[in-house]
A and B are shown apart, each in its own frame.
Chain A
């Protein structure tokens, strides 16, 4: 049985693979780089949200073949114990990172996911999942708010701002330098519109997608936990009853087999069949 988590991660990662996520250390400004930066920030939130739902293992517990992201968007692939490699920009293929470094460079800390919570029913997890979705929505909206506020900046350096969204906590953060479109006053209105609507559109799509995924996940998890609960109880039943009941039955069968051998009274044990008549 392919765990649902595999399916979801595979799907999402494949879909993300077509989104340009490259991070640029310097600050070229423009709609393209701004959109790319937006992608990076949204992807990070997406991974963060997923880690909340499904959890993220420590690097040392990860199996060969698992990947992790660092703060710069570089993807690290675990090739061996305590050995991670990346083909990120500026990273030599021969450069290796250990588990500790990978964890330290990851913007997402190792954590246990909500769905990894044991001994609870799915219903009990739904409020937390819903709250996480709500948090995702806030964080996406705040990113888009930051984008909007970044567009208006004219400086090279990032500016401290208060990003907010309706019904969400305000967040103090810096603007996104790649989106300081007013800096050179070369932007067109179209570019501004494209950047603003891009963020909102992508964020909305991401929300819809995650909501749908959560919907499916909850359904799956509920049925799965139910099945496991039944299986577990049945397993317990068999464990408990095997010895006193099944063993007794087996011993009885064995005993019945022995009865076949029990000598009876001499004449009735004769191999000869009894005579047809008594006379």
Chain B
């Protein structure tokens, strides 16, 4: 249903060969565009045996024949080619009155005038059969499926009359009446059953005679009748006469038929043959009314042959149809057909009658000399593309001696004219670049009836749920399209697409491994995969651990950049040994001058001097402590860096956790996907094989509602809506449906990532070591009086680390970028697997039903034993699978026309409105011709995932403004200058005396400003920057 399709293979070949995009006629046609292996016709080029070679030849013939399907014959009306069925019960259709559904409008008026389906269009044909007042189970040998073959020789059939043991009727057949007299499953022909019913289901009737007092007393018939029980003379003894009342006796009167209570030999036997209307009417009898248990028809279907299929096998005349079982009159649309209702055999396998369909794959092919298949544009004289006429000659005036380019080679590109390039341009490629060729594109024409270019027209799908009450609706087709739509959404989980910064962007390291993906390992190559199934990211070599790489890249890129800024500091330089030597010299002078023994307890200026000299010797090296300054505040910087990395790590972890959860849910989808794949595979089997036994078009045929009940695949029967207009449901009486949301693709835009711009300027003490003035510290020789020099205290060791730490820019980590959790859900929506289980059940049952239908008609007469053509060993078993109430419709379907599109196939109501608009919103489906969702109406809508951007978020490192940093550094420079050299406010005597004048030390404190390499101009005219 849904997509029955007339012409798969042919259009496949023609469309592909000729590059014509035929409008979307029907979903059926889509199926023929299977890619890859589906289009490959595979044979074994080296058969190992002759029989295998023969088989391959057959395969090739089948492939060739299968390719000859389709085409169109624009001017031929459809109506003559929709078969008319006669000789069978059922309803006719009005083929062209239900075009929007692509089916016939069932005639639901007129027909039989009595019975349960009176005046509903049900027609009763000429027939004959057997009718009985008995009912299955009474007599016991009368079963629910009473007989397996129409009749024996007495009724004009070929085979013998077959009795079921222990009927003594076996003798009539002349054979042994075993459990299966013929060994082929048939236990009872219908005429033998009738005979048995009349012979074996009787009772005896006795009259009661009593003595009347008289006078004179006499025995007289009291008028009372006593019957024996019904008995089977073949298996039971004749019942004993009944016990008379006291004083009476009984006398045998006559034998009666049990079911009609009428005397044997009278007009009301238990069973009798019927004809025409007798076989559908319940004829009265003295007992139970008659009801036929077997009917026999000669059905015919006939239509005009399709000219484009010269061998079109267009009709079947007088095909015997045998229906077994009690006649049950009902409307299959309104009543569910049960197991015992599929009890008719369409006997198209009689030898010599040519009723079979064995040759249909060969005969129903299209002659493409007659039918069009795109070889020329309808209504025009345009030739078959590809044709030279469609080659774009862009420059008819091309001169090979002048023009640089050959513009006319294939319409799409040009080659350079070597002659001109050599002679005129002297092979200077620059000229070729400066004088490029231009090009233009032109599409091939495409065919529709009214539009020369395809705009997406389509043909509505075939569907047996089409009915007059819901005009234009096709339950199964719409349900399937809805399921395709929602499944497409379900199995289109969002992709994560990264937009990365170009490697050359400012601050990027082009050698970062992030921009240099791993080289493929030749010894461990990647597993080949179907590129169609791969997300585009894989094709771009973006792997699953992409986020990890991004994070690592960020960590590498966002390391704080430090720029050293020298802070000169004046450091006194001297030798501890020298100061101690001078102290010793002054001590010696003291001893010599005063006669003291030592310099202990020396006070006064000399004592101060000795103490200071010792202190200088001891403390001069303390300046080395300044080495520790840098480490102290660099530790703070590292802590800031740690905070940065930690934040990135946290962000990464959040991403990974969310992504893992998401991936897990995607993995879980695989199970559902496998269910869905199985359902789709089954649907294709149905569409391409089961319901497409040969090249045929079932359009405009009448719905066969009983097909919906085989295997009970259609939920909610006899309802035909499947609840598809209600909310999605998995209720048992509804077609399983669900609704899900299409989650947008996530686009993480990292293209604006910027690494650190500028740097953190870090003050670094730069000692300017100047020797202390030591030449004034020597004592006089001998005992000369001396002016004791006064040494100032050594100043404290300058320290800046506290101030640096306090003054370093604070690390402000702003809100981290959003994680992928804001783009994609932690877990994508799932669906109850039971929905897919049930969908598979529906499609599988549908496939089986149609498979059974067509298989019963494709039997090879050669494989059918003569005499068994009309057998019905069991109901609902091939060939006995047809429902009696819609035999007419089945014959119409059986005689479907070849798959050549005819005039009305292109009718607007059938093709539908072309979709000539495109939708900006990705999650909507186009079309406004019906208020219902469009995808439920005409096609499966497969929208694109939206893309969700969140731009301009990411990581970046923003250093403090340079001016602020320079002020920060200047503070230290100023401080060190004032503290160690200027020493404003310090008495002159307390200042250290250096070997050179302070004025000469000052230049060593100079800190040059930085040189701007790139100027802050709109365009980067670096070349004009200052020199070094």
Contacts and interface: CB of A to CB of B under 8 A. Distances in A.
Do A and B pair up? The answer is yes
A136 B890 CA distance: 117
B34 A268 contact: yes
B535 to A, nearest CB: 6
B51 interface: no
Interface in B971-996: 973-974, 977-978, 981-985, 996
B989 to A, nearest CB: 14
A278 interface: yes
Interface in B331-383: none
Contacts of B499: 250, 254
A275 B37 contact: yes
Contact of B996 (A18, A66, A224): A18
Nearest to B1025: A228
A24 to B, nearest CB: 12
Given A75-B1003, A79-B974, A79-B978, A275 B30 contact: no
A261 B945 contact: yes
A266 B1028 contact: no
A258 interface: yes
Contact of B1000 (A3, A6, A22, A66): A22
A265 interface: yes
A67 B30 contact: no
Contacts of B41: 278
Contact of B680 (A74, A80, A86, A270): A270
Contacts of A273: 677
A262 B944 contact: yes
B1003 A229 contact: no
B1019 interface: yes
A22 B999 contact: yes
Contact of A17 (B681, B751, B1003): B1003
B677 A217 contact: no
B416 to A, nearest CB: 22
B31 A64 contact: no
B908 interface: no
Interface in A256-272: 256-263, 265-272
Contact of B504 (A57, A86, A115, A238): A238
Given A5-B1008, A64-B973, A88-B999, A272 B680 contact: yes
Given A266-B940, A272-B684, A274-B36, A65 B676 contact: no
B997 interface: yes
A262 B973 CA distance: 65
Contact of A65 (B31, B985, B997, B1007): B1007
Interface residues of A, number: 86
Interface string A156-167: 000000000000
B1026 to A, nearest CB: 5
Given A67-B1005, A87-B981, A275-B37, A3 B1028 contact: yes
Contacts of B939: 266
Nearest to A91: B999
A17 B1000 CA distance: 5
Contacts of A86: 999, 1002
Interface string A110-147: 00000111110010010000000000000000000000
Interface stretch (A8-16, A26-34, A172-180): A8-16
A256 B1020 CA distance: 34
Nearest to A73: B999
B1023 A77 contact: no
B435 interface: no
B1011 A5 contact: yes
Interface in B1012-1028: 1013, 1019-1028
B919 to A, nearest CB: 12
A71 interface: no
- Most chain B CB neighbours (cut-off 10 Å) among A6, A64, A224: A64
Interface in B943-977: 943-945, 947, 966, 970, 973-974, 977
A263 B488 contact: yes
Contact of B1026 (A1, A118, A267, A271): A118
Contacts of B535: 260
Contact of A266 (B484, B999, B1022): B484
Contacts of B42: 277-278
B491 interface: yes
B999 A63 contact: no
Contacts of A79: 974, 977-978, 982
Contacts of A259: 536
Given A263-B488, A271-B491, A274-B34, A66 B1022 contact: no
Nearest to A226: B1023
B35 A4 contact: no
A85 B979 CA distance: 13
A13 B1020 contact: no
Contact of B1020 (A220, A235, A242): A235
Contacts of B676: 271-272
B1027 A119 contact: no
Interface in B486-522: 487-488, 491-492, 495, 497, 499, 502, 504
A267 B1024 contact: no
B151 to A, nearest CB: 41
Given A5-B1028, A224-B1028, A66 B1006 contact: yes
Contact of B681 (A85, A89, A115, A272): A272
B970 A64 contact: yes
B1010 interface: yes
Given A77-B977, A87-B981, A221 B999 contact: no
A235 B506 CA distance: 10
A192 interface: no
A239 interface: yes
Contacts of A80: 970, 974
A273 B31 CA distance: 13
Nearest to A18: B996
Given A66-B1007, A118-B1026, 20 more contacts: A1-B1013, A14-B1003, A16-B1003, A18-B996, A64-B970, A64-B974, A65-B568, A75-B1000, A86-B999, A88-B999, A231-B1023, A238-B504, A246-B502, A250-B499, A256-B539, A261-B945, A269-B488, A274-B37, A278-B42, A278-B63
17 contacts: A3-B1011, A5-B1028, A20-B996, A22-B1000, A64-B974, A65-B974, A66-B1009, A79-B974, A89-B997, A89-B999, A93-B983, A94-B984, A221-B1028, A261-B492, A262-B944, A267-B33, A269-B942
Q: When A and B form their complex, which 5 residue pairs have the shortest distance between CB atoms, in order from nearest?
A: A263-B942, A65-B1007, A232-B1022, A4-B1028, A64-B970
Interface of A: 1, 3-6, 9-10, 13-14, 16-22, 57, 62-67, 73-77, 79-80, 85-89, 93-94, 115-119, 122, 125, 217, 220-221, 224-225, 228-229, 231-233, 235-236, 238-239, 242, 246, 250, 253-254, 256-263, 265-279
